[in-house]
Amino acid sequence: MLDSASDQPVPGARVTALDAQGTAVGAVVTDSDGHFTLPALPAPGEYRLCVLRIGYRSAMTQSISLTVSLVARVEIRLLANPVPLDTLTVVAQEARVERQLQYLVDAGFYDRRRKGFGYFLTETDIEKHSPIRMTDVLGELAGVRVIRGDVQMPGATTMFIRGSCQATIVLDGYVLRVGGIGGRGSLPLDELLNPANIEAIEVYPSPAGVPVQYSGYMSPCGAIIAWSRR
């Protein structure tokens, strides 16, 4: 994976393999040298690669025909797409050492927060909203849309990413809801997660930055990964 202007490697890009029907069948993140290796795909056939990386335009390759004996080598060049930021004012103050919970350290929560993909909220951040429902906490995040219930789901409250694309929900490493388009019949976010029981939460409004260990469960709709209090 290379920057189209500088020819420099692009690390941290998410590469998703799509089959002929557009279904994601494998995903991986490029390493520090911009290299990636997709695991064995389900069957020979036509595949395309979708690439997402913050600061670059998304890219989609042409169809690649794979046979049982063929190993395809692909070079992808990404066009820069800088993200404009508001004016940042920095006020120096005495540094405070954050108390880190060991089970969140082991889960990689703090490491992922340092990398800067997605949103990361701790118990303190959650309680600032005095939430009754989980959507009370997440509704103000950019790229996240809360849609209330309709005739088919009266009184329900659920979380959607990018319009009608429903996010995958993971609690303590276990998938509670697999994301996708529509999502009729699946439980809404507020019935799956109670803010009173959540110690920390990670919100990824798109596939970019979603931890690799959850790639097998991810849809193009992003993910909400929660960690319960202990």
Residues 106 and 218 in one domain: yes
Q: Is the pLDDT of residue 151 over 60?
A: no
Q: Domain holding 139: CATH number?
A: 2.170.130.10
Q: How much is the average pLDDT of 53-58?
A: 88
Please check whether residue 58 lies inside any domain of the structure. yes
Kindly report the backbone phi and psi dihedral angles of residue 157, in degrees, each rounded to the nearest multiple of 5, phi listed first: -130, 130
DSSP reduced 3-state for 105: helix
Q: Is the pLDDT of residue 206 over 70?
A: yes
Q: How much is the average pLDDT of 126-151?
A: 76
Looking at residue 152, its pLDDT comes to 43
Please check whether residue 124 lies inside any domain of the structure. yes
Residues 6+ apart with CB under 8 A from 188: 149, 153, 156, 157, 158, 159
26: containing domain:
2-78
Residues 106 and 73 in one domain: no
Q: What is the mean pLDDT of the chain?
A: 81
Tell me how far apart the alpha carbons of residues 91 and 99 are, in angstroms, rounded to a whole number: 22
Looking at residue 215, its pLDDT comes to 65
Q: Is the pLDDT of residue 184 over 70?
A: no
**Domain finish residue from 43, 78, 113:** 78
Looking at residue 219, its pLDDT comes to 62
Whole-prediction pTM? 0.54
Q: How much is the average pLDDT of 62-90?
A: 81
Q: Is the pLDDT of residue 173 over 80?
A: yes
Sheet holding 119-122, edge to edge: 119-122, 198-204, 223-228, 168-171, 174-177
Residues 49 and 122 in one domain: no
Looking at residue 7, its pLDDT comes to 92
Looking at residue 169, its pLDDT comes to 87
Please check whether residue 92 lies inside any domain of the structure. no
Q: How confident is the model at residue 157 (pLDDT cuts 50, 70, 90)?
A: very low
Q: How confident is the model at residue 175 (pLDDT cuts 50, 70, 90)?
A: confident
Please check whether residue 84 lies inside any domain of the structure. no
**Domain finish residue from 78, 112, 127:** 78
Distance between the two ends of the chain, CA-based, in angstroms?
41
Q: Is the pLDDT of residue 156 over 60?
A: no
Please check whether residue 86 lies inside any domain of the structure. no
Residues 125 and 188 in one domain: yes
Please check whether residue 114 lies inside any domain of the structure. yes
Looking at residue 11, its pLDDT comes to 93
Residues 117 and 214 in one domain: yes
Tell me how far apart the alpha carbons of residues 210 and 175 are, in angstroms, rounded to a whole number: 14
- Return the minimum-mean-pLDDT range out of 29-33, 77-81, 97-101: 97-101
Tell me how far apart the alpha carbons of residues 152 and 188 are, in angstroms, rounded to a whole number: 13
In the chain, the percentage of residues whose pLDDT exceeds 70 is 83
Looking at residue 109, its pLDDT comes to 93
Strands 59-60 and 223-228: unpaired
Q: How confident is the model at residue 106 (pLDDT cuts 50, 70, 90)?
A: very high
What's the domain count of the chain?
A: 2
Residues 51 and 112 in one domain: no
